[in-house]
Amino acid sequence: MFLVDAGNTHIDWAVAVGRRFLVKGATPTRQWLQGRAGPDFRGILQERGVKAAAVCSVVPRVTKRLCRELEGALGFAPFVLTADVLRGLEVDYPKPETIGPDRLANALAAKRLYGAPVVVVDFGTAVTFDVVDGRGAYVGGVIAPGLEVMLDYLHQRTALLPRVDVRPVRRVIGRSTQEAMRIGAVRGYSHLVRGVAEDLKAALAPAEPRFLATGGFARLIVREAALPAKVCPNLALKGLLFAWEEAVMAPDGGKAGEEAT
């Protein structure tokens, strides 16, 4: 089984046999679209003898190209996750078609692996908080700018502020422009995440939701924010696998089984 989670910044992919990820990789989305980076997906499918594929994408251009490449390799269209084909997770939301497929994949994986209520914090181009309530239904969430987006904005919209990388900070008072920016980003972002998490916990009371974190800066921000969250790599890929199983392999709603690794 070939799984692809295409985001605005990176395309994550994996080859799964049953619930085990045998091969995983990632490539920058923009470079892949420009043909300057990324693996030969068709070659991987042929080499591994893959017979099916599933796509979760929030970038329409990527979705079209991926589907074209995968269909050329498989001889039929891949499964594409949308709210319309989602099984195994009730969606209690005014316009389900507007929910990012990656958010649905995260929520499905969180519910299947850890139960409900549960909140997924995904640190991507944006940071998203997705909520599955005590009934086991997806009910919405929160979206805020991603950490790198905030830093890039400061650099691009000011004359003197440089571009800085993201790393742990030790001080609360910056002793250089770069250090001040890094503190503002990492510590400020941590307060944002913790504050939103506390609001969501209060909104779900008296139920006690479990918090999961995934995405590029999950470990750093969970530690800096002292957030009681379990870091779960590859959560969207796991959810995509579960969604494919529910919709294609078990259309009657059969249970999934063990965790993908």
Enumerate the active-site residues. Answer: 102
Question: Which neighbouring-strand residues pair with 130?
Answer: 120, 141
DSSP letters spanning the chain: -EEEEE-SSEEEEEEEETTEEEEEEEEEHHHHHTTSS---HHHHHHHHT---EEEEES-HHHHHHHHHHHHHHHSSPPEE--TTT--SSEE--S-GGGS-HHHHHHHHHHHHHH-SSEEEEEESSEEEEEEE-TTSEEEEEEEEE-HHHHHHHHHHH-SSPPP--------SS-SSHHHHHHHHHHHHHHHHHHHHHHHHHHHHTTS--EEEEEETTHHHHHHHHT--EEE-TTHHHHHHHHHHIIIII-TT-----SPP-
Are the CB atoms for 92 and 138 separated by under 8 Å?
yes
